[in-house]
Amino acid sequence: MATLTTTLTSTSRARRFSLSLVSAKPSPLLNLPAELVLDILESVLLETKPSTLSVISKVISRFVDIIIYRTVVLHSKESLILFHRTTLSRSPAFFASHVKKLVVSHQTYNEVNLDRVQRTIAICGGVRSLVLSRWFGIECLASVMEDRTDGGVSEIILQSSTGMGTSLDKSLRLADALSDSVTHLRICEPGSGWTSPEEILRPFGALRNLTHLQLSRRTNSNVNNDLVFQEQVHSILRTRPSLGLLVVIIYPQLWVTDEDVRESDVWALMHEVAEQDARLRLVQGKNDDFESQWRSADSDVGRKFWTELSR
């Protein structure tokens, strides 16, 4: 902690007071392991503004930056604009080293917002986990990955399969960038139209290190497509021995509120596959936004998604 002192000056002019900060001994807090310091400060930040802690010392300020920039959630136009302005005030190296998870849940799509999102993802070059809404999903991901040769992203969570039918050149750009880095891939909700599991995976290339995958399907859809879905899920399990867990969330139709999806045809088809391969888990989805798997991706529920289903 710093000590505030005053010094009285003796001159012929009117008396003045000068203020100076005299540094005391470093806080014992900084003698602790960095991981423990981060845990302590993270608890303090629950009731204290980051700006209050940051003025204590430069070292504490660095720790605060690590905590508040670790996960960036852009849920509105305002938050998107504010964070975009912040990226202009610091070096790209800062965001590349600090932002590890980026959540773009903003639902308003236009060219200005798309450009902001693309630049935000691009400047956060050290991101390991990306959560993107349907409007800034696969197309946005493809456009920013062409400049990243190392991939680096290990977890991708997309709201839905909407837009998965990307052009070949964009698919190849994604395949080159992400084929070896992605280990966890979630497609949380069904898209507006039919997209097969193979079409969903194609833009990402071989996904050689994929260990966790989540797909989704809606009840009472096209019967033939249900059969294709079943066969391709079975094929994914059969051809990917390193895949540790495949979760399929089955949702009711949008206009239904009380349907038991466990009684649906597609659930029965997927249950047949689950009986043959224990790596497949079936989950009953709900249309309520509060229950949405995608909207909870950055919450405690989302963080426990894989661990809960691995039991």
CA distance 228 to 273: 13
Report how far residue 109's alpha carbon sits from residue 122's, in angstroms, rounded to the nearest whole number.
18
CB 122 within 8 A of CB 93: no
Q: Which residues have C-beta within 8 Å of that of residue 180, sequence separation ≥ 6?
A: 151, 206, 208, 209
Q: Identify the pLDDT of residue 241.
A: 95
Residue for token pair 């969330």: 249
Q: What is the pLDDT of residues 47-58, one digit of tens each?
A: 888 888 888 888
Q: How far is CA 88 from CA 65, 124, 247, in A?
A: 16, 12, 40
pLDDT > 90? residue 230: yes
pLDDT in tens, 79-107: 888 998 888 888 889 998 999 998 888 77
Average pLDDT, whole number, for the chain? 80
* Helix ranges (DSSP H) in the chain: 34-44, 50-54, 58-68, 77-89, 92-98, 111-123, 138-145, 168-178, 197-201, 223-239, 265-276, 300-303, 305-310
Distance in angstroms (rounded) separating the CA atoms of residues 271 and 260: 15
pLDDT category at 245 given cuts 50, 70, 90 is: very high
Please name the residues in contact with 149: beta carbons below 8 A apart, sequence gap of 6 or more.
Answer: 176, 177
Residues 6+ positions from 242 with CB-CB distance below 8 Å: 209, 210, 211
Length of the chain: 311
- Residue 293: pLDDT above 60? no
CA distance readout (Å), 58 to 1, 41, 61, 102: 12, 14, 5, 25
Side by side, which strands form the sheet with 184-189? 71-74, 101-104, 129-132, 155-160, 184-189, 212-218, 245-251, 280-284
Crossing angle between the packed helical segments 111-123 and 77-89, to the nearest 10 degrees: 40
Q: At what angle do helices 58-68 and 34-44 cross, to 10 degrees?
A: 70
Which stretches within 16-154 are classed as H helix?
34-44, 50-54, 58-68, 77-89, 92-98, 111-123, 138-145
Predicted confidence at residue 16, as pLDDT, reads: 44
Type of residue at 289: D
pLDDT at 274 over 90: yes
Q: CB-based contacts of 121: which residues, under 8 Å, 6+ apart? A: 102, 104, 127, 130, 140, 141, 144
11-69 pLDDT per residue, tens: 444 444 333 444 456 667 777 788 888 888 888 888 888 888 888 888 888 888 998 89
Q: Say which residue, 170 or 222, is predicted with more confidence.
A: 222
Q: For residue 166, what pLDDT is reported? A: 55
* Amino acid letter, 84: H
Distance CA 65, CA 94 (A): 10
List Cα–Cα distances, 14 to 6, 8, 10, 18, in angstroms: 16, 11, 9, 13
